[in-house]
Structures are given as C-alpha cells and as structure tokens.
Structure 1
Amino acid sequence: MPEPSAPAALAVPAPATWQLSILTVWHPALGMAVDPVAVLARDTAPDANLAQHVAWVPLVYDEADPWRERLAEGVTPAKVDRWQEEHGVCQLSPTDVPPGATDLRHAAELVLDQLLAEVIPALPPRDGA
C-alpha cells in the first residue's frame, strides 16, 4: 500500500468545475489563428481557492501580447464565452483536463507539455520559411 504522500495517492479525478482552454494567435505562414501561446486553466466553482492559472509557451512574448492584454482586464465567464465565439486573430479553444492532473496548475502544465512536444514542432516557422 503506497504512502499517502506517494504520487499514486494524488491521482484523483479532476473536479468537473475545471475548464482548460488553449489560447492561440494568428500564424502568418498558415493564415489562421492556430499558434498556441498559452493554456488558461480555470476552476469555475464558487468557492475555488485558486480560480485560474495561465501557463505561457516559452519565448513567444510579442506573439502572446494580445492575450496578455485581454487577460490583464480580468477573466469572467462572459468573456470566456465571447472569446470562444470569436474567429479572428486571437482564439480560445476548450480542451480536456489531462488524466492524472493533481491541481489546476498541474493540469495547465500537462496541456502545455503536450503542445510543446506535439503541436508546436509540427507548425511551420512563423515567417513561412
């Protein structure tokens, strides 16, 4: 039987109130907003201790500025709903909570790890070269 502090003891189902979204911006070489710059993780429970966390893709400072500006104004359910409906330069795509996530921050980091390993390397360079 593992100790309560063992990683296996942490593997509990994620709360149904957790919502994760991939924040994307316009990719000039592809002509679509498919360039991931961050993962937004939110706990929508009214009594949530850590209500949100953002995991940023490294080295995309300028590209991520539109999302940094949006998030600086605060994240509300109404804004998230509006962002999901937009089809412009910035887009928000809901994604599943990865299995094994121990908290909201960990869930965002797991999605970011997957983006860094699988999605971002498959994208062409931003300049189209």
Structure 2
Amino acid sequence: MSTDPTQPDATTDDSAASPTAASSWQLWILLVWHPALGLPVDPVAVLALDHSQEPAARVVRWVPLVYDTADPWRERLGEGTSVQDVERWIAHSGTCAVEPAAVPEGALDLAHAADLVLDELLAEVVPALPPRGDA
C-alpha cells in the first residue's frame, strides 16, 4: 500500500460511485395489489440490478412489515433475476406489478441506491396509501 498522498489507496474503489458504474444499474419498485384501491400500487420491495456483471448483481430491499403480502415477489425472485425476468413481469402485470425507479443522485453503490429508493417509498408513498383493509 502506498503512503504517497497523490496515489490512490488500493483499498478504495471509486468505480462504484462513478457515473459509468451507475449507468449499468436498474432499479425497480415491486408492487402488489392494494385491496382498498383495486390496483397493484402497494410497494413491497426495491429490486436493484447491476448489468455490468454476469450474472447481474442483485440487491433486494424489502418494505418492513409486509412479509406475507410480498410472498408472490419472493417466489418470483428465487435465486437470480435477469433482464428477461423483468421484461416478462412488465408484460404480465396483474396483481403484481413492477415500476422503474430512477437511480438516485449521490448513490455510492448498488445497495445504497436501493436503500435511497426504499427510504423515499417509506417517507412519501407508503404513508400516503389508504389502509389495506380486509378485502
């Protein structure tokens, strides 16, 4: 390891925060049916994919307290997730849906990007939804 302050530290990975790295990221909000609204608008997770790796790196951040509600997505996600999976989910949306999310500015890595989107959902979207009800 270099002690020269003009040389980058070998333990620092600046590529994760670079615009080039972020350009290969895709973020998706996973939604389920909201009985009170009659639409798949209830967010249960954020799916983040990095297509610069093969297979694509994946991060999933679940909305707290929706374990049973999110079961359809847990079954769909399984072990791996590909671009073709997401395209199929978009084409066959019904009681479950997937919506793209923008990569947040300032995201340090893929996990941080997913965390930022989840934070926004928890702060703005989830509180604005009516109670699920018993339907």
User: How would you bin the TM-score normalised by the shorter chain?
Assistant: 0.7 to 0.9
**Residues 17 and 109, structure 2, Cα contact 8 Å, conserved in 1:** no
Conservation of the 8 A alpha-carbon contact between 1:12 and 1:100: no
1:52 maps to what in 2?
58
Deviations 1:2-29 (A, max 9, x none): xx89xxx886435211000000000000
Structure 1: distance between partners of 2:120 and 2:66: 17
Which secondary structure does the structure 2 equivalent of 1:62 belong to?
Answer: coil
Distance 2:22 2:36 in 1: 38
Count of residues paired in the alignment: 122
Structure 1 segments unaligned to the other structure (5+ residues): none
1:67 alignment counterpart:
73
Per the alignment, residue 90 of structure 2 pairs with 84
- Residue of structure 1 in register with 2:26 after alignment: 19
Between structure 1 and structure 2, the one with the greater Rg is 2
- State the TM-score, normalized to the length of structure 2: 0.81
- Paired with 2:121 and 2:53, the residues of 1 have a C-alpha distance of 29
Match of 1:114 in 2: 120
Distance (whole Å) between structure 2 residues aligned to residue 11 and residue 42 of structure 1: 15
1:23–1:90 CA contact under 8 A, matched in 2: yes
Cα RMSD (Å) of the superposition?
A: 2.4
SS in structure 2 opposite 1:61?
coil
Secondary structure at the aligned position of 1:53 is classed as strand
For 2:86 and 2:18, the matched residues in 1 are separated by: 27
SS in 2 for 1:75: coil
The gaps in structure 2 that reach 5 residues or longer are 1-7
> Which secondary structure does the structure 1 equivalent of 2:61 belong to?
strand
